[in-house]
Structure 1
Amino acid sequence: MKLKLILILLMTSFLGGCLFDKSPTGRHQALLYSEQDMAAMGKTSFEQMIKTQQVNRNPAVNAYVNCITQRIINELPGPKLHWQVVVFDSPQVNAFALPGGYIGVYTGLLRVANTPDQLATVLAHEVAHVLAQHGNEQVSRAQATDWGLKLTDWALGQAETEHRQLVMAALGLGAEYGVILPFGRAQETEADVMGLTLMAKAGFNPKASIALWHNMAKASGGANPPELLSTHPSNDSRIEELTKLQREAEPLYRQSMKQGLPQCRLGR
Structure 2
Amino acid sequence: MKKLVLTLLVFMVAMACKTNPFTGKKMLNFYGNRQIFPMAFAQYDQFLSENNVITGTDEARMITEVGQRISSAAERWLDANGYPGYLKDYQWEYNLVKDETVNAWCMPGGKIVFYTGILPITQTETGVAVVMGHEVAHALADHGAQRMSAGTLQQIGAVGAAIATSGESAETQNAFMQAYGIGSNVLGMLPFSRSHETEADLIGLQIMAIAGYNPDEAAKLWQRMKAKSGGQAPPEFLSTHPSNDTRISNLTAWAPQAKQEAAKFGVTSFK
Q: Same fold (TM over 0.5)?
A: yes
Distance in 1, matches of 2:11 and 2:182, equals 17
Which residue of structure 2 lines up, in the alignment, with residue 188 of structure 1? 197
Q: Would the aligned equivalents of 2:54 and 2:97 in 1 still touch at CA under 8 Å?
A: yes
Cα separation, partners in 2 of 1:8 and 1:167, compared to 1, 3 Å: farther
Distance in 1, matches of 2:220 and 2:268, equals 25
Say if 2:105 is the partner of 1:96.
yes
Which residue of structure 2 lines up, in the alignment, with residue 265 of structure 1? none
Unpaired segments ≥5 residues, structure 2: 76-83
Distance in 2, matches of 1:236 and 1:203, equals 26
Equivalent AA in structure 1 for residue 20 of structure 2: S
Equivalent AA in structure 1 for residue 168 of structure 2: E
Deviation per CA, 1:197-234, whole angstroms, max 9, x where unpaired?
Answer: 00000000000101100011011112221101011110
Distance in 2, matches of 1:261 and 1:88, equals 28
Shift of 1:260: 8.1
Please state whether the residue corresponding to 2:74 is helix, strand or coil: coil
Identity %: 32
Distance in 2, matches of 1:140 and 1:51, equals 28
TM-score of the pair, normalised by structure 2: 0.85
Distance in 1, matches of 2:41 and 2:110, equals 8
Q: Would the aligned equivalents of 1:15 and 1:148 in 2 still touch at CA under 8 Å?
A: no
Equivalent AA in structure 2 for residue 21 of structure 1: K
Q: Would the aligned equivalents of 1:12 and 1:152 in 2 still touch at CA under 8 Å?
A: no
Q: How does 1:213-232 map to 2 (within 5 A)?
A: 213-232=222-241
Q: Match for 1:107 among 116, 121, 128? A: 116
Q: Would the aligned equivalents of 1:199 and 1:206 in 2 still touch at CA under 8 Å?
A: yes
Q: Match for 2:20 among 9, 20, 23? A: 23
Unpaired segments ≥5 residues, structure 1: 263-268
Say if 2:160 is the partner of 1:160.
no
Deviation per CA, 1:156-192, whole angstroms, max 9, x where unpaired?
Answer: 22x2356110011111111000100001111111111
Equivalent AA in structure 2 for residue 175 of structure 1: S
Say if 2:178 is the partner of 1:169.
yes
Q: Match for 2:70 among 69, 72, 75? A: 72
Distance in 1, matches of 2:46 and 2:115, equals 16
RMSD: 2.6
Distance in 1, matches of 2:74 and 2:267, equals 19
Say if 2:65 is the partner of 1:57.
no
Please state whether the residue corresponding to 1:29 is helix, strand or coil: strand
Distance in 1, matches of 2:243 and 2:4, equals 35
Shift of 1:15: 8.1
Q: Match for 1:129 among 132, 135, 138? A: 138
Please state whether the residue corresponding to 2:73 is helix, strand or coil: coil
Which residue of structure 2 lines up, in the alignment, with residue 208 of structure 1? 217
Equivalent AA in structure 2 for residue 75 of structure 1: A
Shift of 1:254: 5.5
Cα separation, partners in 2 of 1:11 and 1:216, compared to 1, 3 Å: farther
Q: Would the aligned equivalents of 2:40 and 2:109 in 1 still touch at CA under 8 Å?
A: yes
Q: Would the aligned equivalents of 2:9 and 2:153 in 1 still touch at CA under 8 Å?
A: no
Q: Would the aligned equivalents of 1:210 and 1:242 in 2 still touch at CA under 8 Å?
A: yes
